[in-house]
Amino acid sequence: MNDALKRCHRESLERRILDLFAEDGRAQDFSVSHDGLLFDYSKTNIDTDTRRALVALTETADVAGRRAAMFSGAPINATEGRAVLHTALRNLDGDPVTVDGQDVMPGVRATLERMADFAADVRDGRIAGQGGRITDVVNIGIGGSDLGPSMAVRALKPYHDGPRCHFISNVDGADLTDTLGGLDPARTLVLVASKSFTTQETMANACAVRAWMARAVKDPAQQFAAISTAKEEVAAFGIPPERMFGFGDWVGGRYSVWGPIGLSLMISIGPDAFFDFLKGGQAMDAHFQSAEPERNMPVMLALVGLWHRQICGHATRAVIPYEQRLERLPAYLQQLEMESNGKRVAMDGSALESDSGPVVWGDAGTNGQHAFFQLLHQGTEVVPCEFLLGAEGHEADLVDHHEILVAHCLAQSKALMTGRDLETARGQVEAWGLSGKTLDRLARHRVFTGNRPSTTLLYPKLTPYVLGQIVALYEHRVFVEGVVLGINSFDQWGVELGKELAGAILPAVRGETAPDRWDGSTRFLLDRIRTPRTGE
Ligand SMILES: O=P(O)(O)OC[C@H]1O[C@](O)(CO)[C@@H](O)[C@@H]1O
């Protein structure tokens, strides 16, 4: 990174985050408020100079120009020669968006209408199973064809008024067995969600579920629908075109929840609530495109992320929603952020000069407090934390629970920042009546260095609209970080090699080929795996 930021970093090491609050109004100044959301980054070691230097990065990298290119349908996914237009899926105003000279909006609208009709028909019983009204929907997909809808369906539980939704992603047969257990195949609708319709795990699961259904009903295809860009593969699987919901190759898998991949969500919460989800995303798009950098939530979220990873060198970032129903958000963001920005090569093929995006991990609070927070507070690594918190919960009869939840969230970010010094710790141990070496020793264990950065995203209540805002916020954050780093956030070549090798190793696992061609460790493991099966 540039000299100005290096200087800002050096200066930040000379002060504590808490010192920055000596200036009045820091919380207001170092936060962005928009459309009910508040992103508070005041508990970071970013001061005015640092922010200025960070904002300058967006100018150098021409974030505004790249953003305009993305929204206009230019092929910014340069390694695959594709446009990046998940934003068109939530462009409810229908303003034209052209790819290769063609407006994609009529197609987007038509698909959305078909989805809404299909969802309404399933919910109202006009589309039924061979044993009666659909009671359960099973989405089969993996990665972007699973994480978005499964996260969102879980997040919006209070809005479920349709059939129950289930998700099978893993090729581990346990996922399938445990999900199908208790379901009535004659009243289950299966959505096979796969952009490519060739993903091995998804196709293995789809075939197995079809066989499960065939044991109970005459015509399983009647209870299947496909969500894909691959017409021929869908037809070859036996799903008719009227049960296929397609989308353009300009929608990346991890950005696809807004369209047909979100069909399970739409069936679960209904078309109107799904439209609210889209509206939230669309509102965030408008904000992202128009707000100046310092007042622009995705831009500032990205710049804080770049500060922590690329300037301060913190290798990981914890995402901790104080909202049980967002427990799948960290997993969703792992794909969104790590598949997008986990790259060591710049757009032009040269080696990246800075670090790639961070490792993203986390879990819902308060559960995480009783698991990994010990390390966050007293470990040797500094892990910037991203808290998410709703001002209001849905449980009107459990308001006290929500108050406790809020108190814990605020307490954690405060504890990370302020810590507890040795003198205070000594005072506490002294109060137990201890002294001398025992006091010294025990007091040290109770010291918290503090000065650990965190941000808080505060939202009013987790409605479909707010979830749409949050997901779009994170998508644009990834975009800005990618542009500043100079990488292509929209391909994922890094997942290819493992897939290829799995295909090549499978015959050896099945015992169809000898394991000789593999390296010593793989051969050794294959031998051990095969021994108990064959009794050799
Ligand atoms: O929707 P598909 O084509 O089955 O792909 C599933 C997932 O596999 C990946 O290609 C790689 O993990 C993801 O990008 C994608 O979301």
**Three-class SS string for 172-237?**
CHHHHHHHHCCCCHHHEEEEEECCCCCCHHHHHHHHHHHHHHHCCCCCHHHHEEEECCCHHHHHHH
Rounded mean pLDDT, 231-260: 96
Structure tokens at 175: 């996922």
Strand order through the sheet with 454-459: 31-34, 37-40, 454-459, 385-390, 316-322, 359-361
Q: What is the pLDDT of residues 40-58, one digit of tens each?
A: 999 999 999 999 999 999 9
Domain harbouring 509, CATH code = 1.10.1390
Tokens 């096979």, located at residue: 192
Residue whose CA lies nearest to ligand 1 atom number 4: 194
Annotated active-site residue 166? The verdict is no
Query: 525 and 393: one domain?
Result: no
Q: What is the pLDDT of residues 306-322, one digit of tens each?
A: 999 999 999 999 999 99
Annotated active-site residue 499? The verdict is yes
Strand-pair partners of 386 = 319, 455
Rounded mean pLDDT, 76-90: 97
The gap between the terminal CA atoms of the chain, to the nearest Å, is 58
Catalytic residue of the set 201, 323, 337, 339: 339
Q: What is the pLDDT of residues 439-497, one digit of tens each?
A: 999 999 999 999 999 999 999 999 999 999 999 999 999 999 999 999 999 999 999 99
Rounded mean pLDDT, 145-169: 98
On the question of pLDDT at 515 being above 90, the answer is: no
Say which DSSP state 372 is in. T
Closest CA to 494 of 357, 343, 359: 343
498 CA → ligand 1 middle, Å: 13
- What is the pairing mode between strands 37-40 and 31-34? antiparallel
Query: 457 and 332: one domain?
Result: yes
Q: Give, in order, the Cα–Cα distances in Å from 77 to each of 143, 179, 253, 337, 358.
A: 19, 36, 13, 16, 21
Query: Does residue 83 sit within a domain?
Result: no
Residue whose CA lies nearest to ligand 1 atom number 8: 143
Report helix, strand or coil for 357.
Answer: coil
On the question of pLDDT at 535 being above 80, the answer is: no
Domain harbouring 470, CATH code = 3.40.50.10490
Ligand 1 atom with minimal separation from the 254 CA: 16
Closest CA to 134 of 199, 208, 188: 188
| 196 C-beta closer than 6 A to ligand 1 | yes
Annotated active-site residue 481? The verdict is no
Rounded mean pLDDT, 134-162: 98
| 142 C-beta closer than 6 A to ligand 1 | yes
Q: What is the pLDDT of residues 176-219, one digit of tens each?
A: 999 999 999 999 999 999 999 999 999 999 999 999 999 999 99
On the question of pLDDT at 108 being above 70, the answer is: yes
pLDDT band at 131 (very low <50, low <70, confident <90, very high): very high
What is the domain extent for residue 508? 496-530
pLDDT band at 30 (very low <50, low <70, confident <90, very high): very high
Query: Does residue 425 sit within a domain?
Result: no
142 CA → ligand 1 middle, Å: 6
- Identify the pLDDT of residue 533: 54
Query: 473 and 345: one domain?
Result: yes
Structure tokens at 397: 């009869």
On the question of pLDDT at 245 being above 60, the answer is: yes
Give the number of other Cβ atoms within 10 Å of residue 442's Cβ. 15
Query: 179 and 270: one domain?
Result: yes
Query: 40 and 107: one domain?
Result: no
Query: Does residue 226 sit within a domain?
Result: yes
| 202 C-beta closer than 6 A to ligand 1 | yes
Closest CA to 43 of 298, 477, 419, 358: 419
Query: 304 and 364: one domain?
Result: yes
Query: Does residue 159 sit within a domain?
Result: yes
- DSSP assignment string, 252-297: -GGG-TTTGGGHHHHHHH-HHHHHHHHHHHHHHHHHHHHS-GGG-H
Query: 272 and 323: one domain?
Result: no
pLDDT band at 234 (very low <50, low <70, confident <90, very high): very high
Query: 148 and 206: one domain?
Result: yes
pLDDT band at 531 (very low <50, low <70, confident <90, very high): confident
Ligand 1 atom with minimal separation from the 199 CA: 4
Query: 234 and 354: one domain?
Result: no
199 CA → ligand 1 middle, Å: 7
Rounded mean pLDDT, 292-317: 98
Query: 312 and 397: one domain?
Result: yes
Average per-residue pLDDT for the chain: 97
- Identify the pLDDT of residue 154: 98
- Identify the pLDDT of residue 534: 53
| 281 C-beta closer than 6 A to ligand 1 | no
pLDDT band at 1 (very low <50, low <70, confident <90, very high): confident
Query: Does residue 440 sit within a domain?
Result: no
Residue whose CA lies nearest to ligand 1 atom number 7: 143
Report helix, strand or coil for 162.
Answer: coil
Report the C-alpha gap between 10 and 51 in whole angstroms: 14
Rounded mean pLDDT, 347-368: 96
Percent pLDDT > 70 in the chain is: 99
Catalytic residue of the set 218, 370, 437, 445: 370
Residue whose CA lies nearest to ligand 1 atom number 11: 495
- Identify the pLDDT of residue 166: 98
Please tell me the chain's helix, strand, coil percentages from 3-state DSSP, rounded to the nearest 5.
55, 10, 30
Structure tokens at 211: 């066989």
Query: 127 and 267: one domain?
Result: yes
Domain count, the chain: 3
On the question of pLDDT at 536 being above 60, the answer is: no
Q: Are 467 and 155 in contact (CB under 8 A)?
A: yes
On the question of pLDDT at 165 being above 60, the answer is: yes
Report the C-alpha gap between 416 and 318 in whole angstroms: 13
Report helix, strand or coil for 116.
Answer: helix
143 CA → ligand 1 middle, Å: 5
Query: 173 and 308: one domain?
Result: no
Q: What is this structure's pTM?
A: 0.97
